[in-house]
Amino acid sequence: MTSNYIQNGSASPALQVYDAARHIYFVNVDFSGTLIQPGSGTSYWREAQFRMTLRQGIPTTAWNPAKDPSNAGLLIGGNNLTTTTKIPVYENGTLLTGSNP
């Protein structure tokens, strides 16, 4: 996992285990101390970009996006941007939006 761009925040340097038995992992993006709120202006919007790749030597067949709960119903490509409820967002341990797998 590498972070390309985190606006006023940080990301965990490696995937975290959510459910080892189901092979579900997550990236923790932390915006602590940063004001974030919905609205029409960009003053309080924050962006996080990161890349997950397979370790060298692992065949690409080991990655199956169909088994990724956060990917369900999403399409590839910039023309297919949409909102999803499949990615949970927390504040101080309280679920604000989305759902856990």
Tell me, yes or no, whether 20 and 41 share the same domain.
yes
Gap between the Cα atoms of 7 and 45, Å rounded: 9
Rounded to two decimals, the pTM is 0.69
pLDDT band per the 50, 70, 90 thresholds, residue 11: confident
Tell me, yes or no, whether 57 and 84 share the same domain.
no
Tens-place pLDDT, residues 22-49: 888 888 888 888 877 776 667 777 788 8
How many domains does one find in the chain?
2
Q: Is 49 helix (H, G, I), strand (E, B) or coil?
A: strand
Gap between the Cα atoms of 96 and 23, Å rounded: 24
For residue 5, what are the domain limits? 1-63
Residue count of the chain: 101
Span 5-25, average pLDDT? 84
Tell me, yes or no, whether 53 and 76 share the same domain.
no
Tell me, yes or no, whether 74 and 52 share the same domain.
no
Span 49-63, average pLDDT? 86
